[in-house]
Amino acid sequence: MRVLCLILSHFPLKCEIQRQPDRANCPSLVLQPKDSAGSQKLVLDYSPELEDIQRDMPLQQALSRHGEVELIQSDMPYYWSIFNEILDALELKSPLVEGADLGTVYIGLDGLQLIYPDDHFLIQSIREVIPEPFSAQIGIAEGKFPAYLAALHSQ
């Protein structure tokens, strides 16, 4: 079964940028929800220009590398609301849509060749429903894992 994987990188941060566009201009860290991180605060997401930061990194370690960042408390219900809106829009393109994780979507392609003459038209149609400021990495392969790897390595 051919599968399209759609990765919306830095999804929590881009949700915050959609809510407050001026955040696009300053380096930011989105913090894990308070109840899931225990006593230590962890990074949920970060601005792409902060290359040496990773998800689940302790906040203190991240701040030692980049002291001049904006800290944003995560708003998981808001992120899931935005993600569900995107999933609903994608379901208008294909009935086989699965939201695997926040920012990662799998779309089954069986039968869509009758609607989209080739992969280029399908990808163009998918990109049309992705709102600003989100950018999508897309991969197509036989199965979920190869499609995920293809999306990770796509522009």
At 35 the pLDDT is 60
pTM score: 0.87
Supply the pLDDT for residue 81. Answer: 96
Q: Which of 95, 111, 115, 109 is nearest to 138 (CA)?
A: 109
pLDDT tens for 14-40 read 999 999 998 888 999 999 987 654 578
Taking the C-alpha atoms of residue 135 and residue 7, their distance in angstroms, rounded to an integer, is 8
Q: Which helix (H) or strand (E) holds 128?
A: helix 119-128
